[in-house]
Structure 1
Amino acid sequence: MSSSTSTSTSTSTDDETSSPARRRSPLRALFGRGSLDIQSTLLVMLLAVSFLAAIVIGSVGYVNGRDSLRAAAFDQVTSIRESRARDVERTLAGVQQAVVLDSRNDSALQASLDFNAGFAALDEQSIDPARQQAVTAYYEDTFVPRLDEATGSSTDPSLLEPTSPAQAYLQSLYTVPFDDDFDASLAFDAADDGSAWSQARSDHHDYFREMVDQLGYEDVLLLDLDGDVVYSAFSGVDLGTNVEDGPYSRTPLADVWATALESNTVDSSFTTDFEPYAPSLGVPTAWIASPVGSGADVSGVLAVQVPTETIDSVMTGDEGWADQGLGRTGEAYLAGPDETMRSTSRELIEHPDTFAADVVDHGTPTDVAQRQVATGSSVLLQPVATTAVEAALQGRTATTVNTDYLGHEVLAAYAPIDVEGLNWVVVAKVDTAEAFAPVDVFTRNLLLSTAAIIVVVSLLSLLLAQVFVRPVRRLQHAVNRVSGGEIGVEVPVKGHDEFSELGGAFNDMSRSLKVKQDLIDEQRRENDRLLRTLMPEAMAKRYKEGEETIAEDHTDVAVVYADVAGFDDFSRGMRSGERLALLDGLWRSFDEAAERLGVEKVRSSQQGYLASCGLTVPRIDNARRVVDFTLELEGILERFNATNSSRVALRAGIDTGQVTSGLVGRTSMVYDMWGDAVTLAHRVQDVSSQAGIYATERVVQKIGDGVPAVDSGTVTTQSGEQRVFRLERPAA
């Protein structure tokens, strides 16, 4: 054995140098936080879907509910309109039918004949000046002042005073004495004046009085064929007047009388619109008249005065607006072709103290408003030039939202009234604020319900999001633990859903990572062990830390280079495995001896064994230790020879001095030691052809006399001749 061969060791460090951040990056890409985490994203999705569904359902419900409630409001006022229209038509039709029946009644026919005859007889007589004076005084002092006060006008009494003897006579007996006390006049049967007219009143007045009381007429008149008012139930100033040429010739009474006679039939009635009637102190009056007689035999006309109260009672439902579905602001009223009311305003009836201000603010003249408050009636006074009235007067029937005569926005239903001889329209209205209040309540409740649903859905979404994300959180936590370097982490798996499958896959991955990490750790320990067998631990640590050039200078190191002489001859003919096993056994024994004696192995090969003392651990007795180690090697070989019947021997060279140790090479790192001491230790073993232990003079001087030394010659070095000694085993 004459040369040495270095043993190389290469180690992969991929697993040891890869950073935790790099190992975590794929997982962070899957579970890392962006702008929103999974729970927030899921929560936003649930809330978005819930909000969208709530908004869509709420919008659809709102539109349908609002339309339904608005339609219900329109249906309500339409129903009121239809109801009031039917009631008015039925009431007027009932009066018309009653007038027709009464005009054909034998009692009415006989009364007409008797009053006609009695009136004609009175008209033939002259009037007592005293009676005439009493009548004139009544007109001047009583009636005309009252008329002027009631109407706000100025009337010449002479225009209204009686012009015929019969009129003056009857008014002196039946009008003047009662001083406009119509109830007393109605209750009075007849004067005891012996006239045929008074006899007729005595015979027939009770019949007409019952008609007034039971049917609620303002007055009942009988007119003859000449236009004379031959009878009046209340015996007012129109008693005895002539409607053709008298002061009331241009009143609806004159018109209806002429129309009734011109009809030439007793089976029909004729109706007039309301107009102010002077005998009633300007109070609006409507007339319904029918010819009196049977067949073609007509003796006169029966005319009944229809009071505004009759119409008001129907239109106000006897002032039961709220009970009849009109709430706080609703009403139904009639209007005529002049766009004024034919019934009394609810506002005037319920709130007379604020009525005038309300209507004046909306354009009604102040004097008209005040007159309504004074009379308690809106008939022929209150303008109602609204969209609903105008449309109804044009014959249309519909509903609308517009501004009423009070200036309020109202929901109105309008239609014409079907009464022959009248051009009236009916309007049922209610303030939109009240009509659509259910819409507002519905909207508020819907918003509150939607808000409550949204709150509940938000809480449920938050809870569901947490429940949904909980397995992901556990998995994320486990992944973070793994990315932090912990192995063997597992998550609990329950159920059979996708999260459970993902958790199971993670557990499989974690177990696989643990197995691989265990293998890597085992490989790392093996690598460390191999490194420690190939180089000192300090050198191995520096190598693992990544140093590329590793070398150290040592000043006082004892070096031994040993070779087994005769091993080649001994092992010739052996199988390579057997030969290697024997050599490996020797080197292992050498290693054990070195470890026991504090000697550090540098390298070993088939050609030799290089060791040192004081290389990594400075020692004062390094030379002595190396010598003892070498002597121990001789003993090992002796035992080897005895065991294997061989004749191998030790050839060793020892020197001490300065050496350098380090790693040599890049692809195959080799720990080696070099320097003059190493070179000289290798050379001194060849100073003699005999096997043995040879040491330089420096070694002999250090070990002293404890080991016998025999001068064996010299070797030439750069510093000169070096003496070499052969060391002998001390005597036992």
Structure 2
Amino acid sequence: MTAQSSIDSEPVETAPAARARLRRPLSRLSLQSKIIVMLLLSSLASLAVIGTVEFVDGRSKLMPVAAERMTQLREAQRRAIEMLFGDLANSLAVYSRGTTADEAVQAFTAGFDQLGEAPVDPGQQAALETYYTDKLIKPIQQATGVNLDLAALMPDNNAQKYLQVHYTLHSHDSNAPQDPGDGSAWSAANVRFNKYFREIATRFEYRDAMLLDTRGNLVYTVNKGPALGTNILTGPFRESNLRDAYEKAMDADSVDFVWITDFQPFQAAGGMPIAWLVSPINSGGKTNGVLALPLPISKINRIMTADQHWKSAGMGETAETYLAGPDGLMRSDSRLFLQDPKKYERDAVAAGTPPDIVAKAIRWHGTTLVQPVDTAAFHAAQRGQTGTVLDHGYLGDQELAAYAPVSIPNSDLRWSILATRNSSEAYSRIESFTRTLIVTTAVMVFVICVLAMLIAQAFVGPIRRLRAGTEEISAGNYDVAIPVTTRDEIGDLTSAFNEMSRNLKIKEGLLTEQRNENDRLLLSLMPEPVVRRYRDGEQTIAQEHQDVTVIFADIIGLDEISSAVSGDELVGIVDELMRELDSAAETCGVEPIRTVHNGYLASCGLTVPRLDSVPRTVDFAVEMQRIIERFNSRTGHHLAIRAGINTGNVTSGLVGRSSVIYDMWGTAVNLAHRMRSSTADSGVFVTSEAYEVMRDIRQFTPAGSISVDGAEQPIWRLSDRA
């Protein structure tokens, strides 16, 4: 019974009330909004269906195109790299099995053996030590942070020492002769064969060309660097990948054998990454040595970067191709690094590359064997897979990457090639298609909205103008006049509104004039910071100041003048003097505080802290004397200035309620006042604190003393007015 009563007692919503509740949201819309909503609802439905169908169909057709373009770029670069290594290997095989290479290695080996007992004096030994320290150890330490042992690098046999003394020490001199005139067989071989091997290095852009004998001695190099004469099996560079390549070449059973190594830092080249191409020098079935060439990284970069003509090669703004090794490091240089090293540095660090790795790339002027590549595309290529993937690149950007392993003959290299493009550029056609579709739809919606607005504007335009005018007045802009375009009730309302706007503008002008006058009066009585606090309604306004210089001055003789002139004339004289004193104070950076009878109180460093407050105040006092003198000469009166100057800490603030006064208090003010009143003589008097500041700038004479807290303090009188 109770439950039934509760149900019966609940109010039942009537049908008219329900319809009113449903209509309430529409009643909040303007007439113009209702017209726009009606047209949009009828048109957007059809536009949505057409746009969705077109978008899905277009995207499905354009997506494979982007991947195909990256695949074509990757394959073109892979073929070029594989052809490059094939050409380099073929050319090296041709040179190594030629008679010139065989004759050269035998001649240099014989000459090297003859130098086994060649003398090297202590001075030459010291020059070698200096060379290794300045040209090898220090640069490697600066580039890599590794401190090499000089003793481990220095030549350990006479032949090596002899060659490095006569050639390596002068390797940086482009004008050094090929024959130092020592008469050795090695120098004769150098004169005979050096031009031949230098042409090989220059033609194929190799960093150097080297000959090694059958015992591992590096008997010749084109550049005559610190590797000259060393033994690749037992010498200081025995841990380089050149040793492994040399051993493979010596063990080869084919005259056409060529071996290509991966990149590795080579200390003799300043720690720079070097890869090697080596081939045995064979004559009559006998291996007489090995020809070794450092891989021309410039040629790899020229292919991978399209010789830095990315746009003309179809790479656009962001596409690049690069090589990476199994250690996850690049084997060619980054496009961004070549274009903008500073931006590469910022982006690489932001993507998580350690700053020391990025700094190393900057020092080495390249990212080969430096920049890590830890992407899904790279790992897939290392697994021997080929394909495309949407991935995050080594710089953290989302990119479309085409990846594949690189097959390089005559080596065990497991390099990967990656062709990448920023996803926004890779899918630019899709984005362009999407933008076109969106723009077209937006234009159609815009046209419908414009038509609706034009229709509704005729009804709601005058009301909107009145509302806009009301908002302007609410914002404080009373210079509003709305054109009367009709003669109906809306026109009458517009005329009444314009009249109200004019009346408010007049009243606002009067209030503004009154406020400006009040501000001017307040600023003449107190500093601007105090005015702001006073306006904000602070009841007690006080502030502590340090290192403020105070001047308290009397104009002597005004009382005598007052008895001889009328009141108007006296006020005019005082006003003239005070105006000149205020102007001088402003020029000197001194701040007037107040005037009392014949007195003038001012400060320097109160509202604007100044390190030279004492000199400025003394200059102001001197200028006061000059103003009085000019007044006397102009009028025939006999006025004088008696001023006291002190420096120290003061307190400033407002006192009074009905009559507000800005004043200063403190020992510095008190002493300045007492000095001014302690003597009947005119002049400028300073305390010991001010005297100590000015004693080397102006001249003073002792003027007695005043008592401060029971102790006598000396004061001085300014005698210098220069």
| TM-score, normalised by the number of residues in structure 1 | 0.53
1:537 is matched with none
Which of 328, 352, 365 is the aligned partner of 2:341?
Answer: 352
1:110 aligns with 2:99: no
How far residue 456 of structure 1 moved from its aligned partner, in angstroms, is 9.2
Cα gap change, 1:198/1:443 in structure 2, threshold over 3 Å: closer, same or farther? same
The secondary structure found in structure 1 opposite 2:187 is helix
Identify if the C-alpha distance between structure 1 residues 95 and 456 changes in structure 2 by more than 3 Å, giving closer, same or farther. same
Structure 1 residue 367 displacement after superposition? 1.1
| Cα distance between partner residues in 2 of 1:313 and 1:206 | 26
Pair 350,47 (structure 1): closer, same or farther in 2 beyond 3 Å: closer
Q: Give 1:164's match in structure 2, choosing from 132, 140, 157.
A: 157
Q: Is 1:426 paired with 2:424?
A: no
Question: Does the 8 Å contact 2:205/2:298 carry over to 1?
Answer: no
Which runs of no fewer than 5 residues in structure 2 stay unpaired? 1-38, 452-722
The answer (yes or no) to whether the contact 1:84–1:314 under 8 Å persists in 2 is yes
Q: Which residue of 2 aligns with 1:85?
A: 78
Match of 1:67 among 60, 63, 66: 60
Closer/same/farther in 2, CA of residues 459 and 154 from structure 1, 3 Å limit: closer
CA distance in 2, matches of 1:106, 1:53: 83
Task: State the shift of 1:337 in Å.
Answer: 0.7
Q: Give the Cα separation in 2 of the matches to 1:134 and 1:448.
A: 75
Superposed CA offset, 1:384-426 (max 9, x none): 1111111111111111011111111111111111113211111
Q: Give secondary structure in 2 for the equivalent of 1:413.
A: strand
Equivalent residue for 2:215?
226
**Secondary structure at the counterpart of residue 442 of structure 1:** helix
Query: What residue is the counterpart of 1:721 in the other structure?
Result: none
Q: 1:296 aligns with which of 273, 285, 297?
A: 285
Asked if 2 retains the 8 angstrom alpha-carbon contact of 1:271 and 1:287, the reply is yes
* Structure with the larger RCO, 1 or 2 (CA within 8 Å, 6+ apart): 1
Aligned to 2:128: 135
Q: CA deviation at 1:444?
A: 1.2
Alignment of 1:328-477 (within 5 A): 328-420=317-409, 421=411, 422-450=413-441
Task: Describe the superposition over 1:449-505 as per-residue Cα deviations: whole angstroms up to 9, x where unpaired.
Answer: 355678999999xxxxxxxxxxxxxxxxxxxxxxxxxxxxxxxxxxxxxxxxxxxxx
AA in 1 matched with 2:425: E
Superposition deviation, residue 48 in structure 1: 11
Judge conservation of contact 1:389–1:425 (CA < 8 Å) in 2: yes
Residue 126 of structure 2 aligns to a residue whose secondary structure is helix
Alpha-carbon shift at residue 131 of structure 1 (Å): 3.0
- CA separation of 1:459/1:279 partners in 2, compared to 1, >3 Å: closer, same or farther? closer
Q: Deviations over 1:53-103 (max 9, x none)?
A: 765554343233223332222122211211211121111221111111110
Distance 1:341 1:101 in 2: 30
Aligned with residue 183 of structure 2, among 186, 191, 194: 194
The corresponding residue for 1:244 is 233
| Partner Cα separation in structure 1 for residue 231 and residue 255 of structure 2 | 22
DSSP-derived class of the 1:429 partner? strand
How many aligned residue pairs are there?
A: 413
What does residue range 258-657 of structure 1 map to in structure 2 within 5 Å?
Answer: 258-294=247-283, 296-420=285-409, 421=411, 422-450=413-441
Give the direction of change, closer, same or farther, for the CA distance of 1:194–1:253 in structure 2 (3 Å limit).
same
Shift of residue 129, structure 1, vs aligned partner: 3.9
- Bigger Rg over Cα: 1
C-alpha distance in structure 2 between counterparts of 1:347 and 1:426, whole Å: 17
How far is the alpha carbon of 1:133 from its aligned partner? 3.1
Question: Partner residue of 1:121?
Answer: 114
Using the TM superposition, give the Cα deviation of residue 345 of structure 1 relative to its aligned residue in structure 2, in angstroms: 1.0
Pairing of 1:143-222 with structure 2 (within 5 A): 143-178=136-171, 180-181=172-173, 188-222=177-211
Letter in 2 for 1:351: D
**RMSD of aligned C-alpha atoms?**
2.7
Q: Is the 8 A contact 1:151 1:281 kept in 2?
A: no
The question of whether the paired residues in 1 share the 8 Å contact of 2:118 and 2:162 is answered with: no
Deviation at 1:121, TM superposition (A): 1.5
Determine the C-alpha separation between the residues in 1 that align with 2:175 and 2:274: 21
Q: 1:257 to 1:81 in 2, by over 3 A?
A: same
Measured in 2, the distance between the counterparts of 1:261 and 1:361 equals: 47
Contact 1:265 1:295 in 2 (8 A): no
Alignment deviations for residues 562-586 of structure 1 (CA, whole Å, 9 cap, x no partner): xxxxxxxxxxxxxxxxxxxxxxxxx
CA deviation digits over 1:124-159, x for unaligned, max 9? 545444433322232234432222222221111111
Rate the CA distance shift 1:451–1:354 in 2: closer, same or farther, 3 A: closer
- Give the SS at the match of 1:377: coil
Aligned twin of 1:651: none
| Partner amino acid, structure 2, of 1:166 | A
| Residue in structure 2 matched with residue 722 of structure 1 by the alignment | none
Query: What is the aligned-residue identity percentage?
Result: 38
Distance in 1, Cα, partners of 2:79 & 2:285: 33
Counterpart residue number, 2:708: none
| Structure 1: gaps (5+ residues) | 1-45, 461-732
8 Å CA contact 2:85, 2:408 repeated in 1: yes
- Contact 1:76–1:325, Cα closer than 8 Å, also in 2: no
Structure 1 position 189, deviation (Å): 2.7
Paired letter, 1:435: A
- Inter-CA distance 327–228: structure 2 relative to 1 (3 Å threshold): same
The one-letter amino acid paired with 1:346 is R
Conserved? CA contact 2:263–2:331, under 8 Å: yes
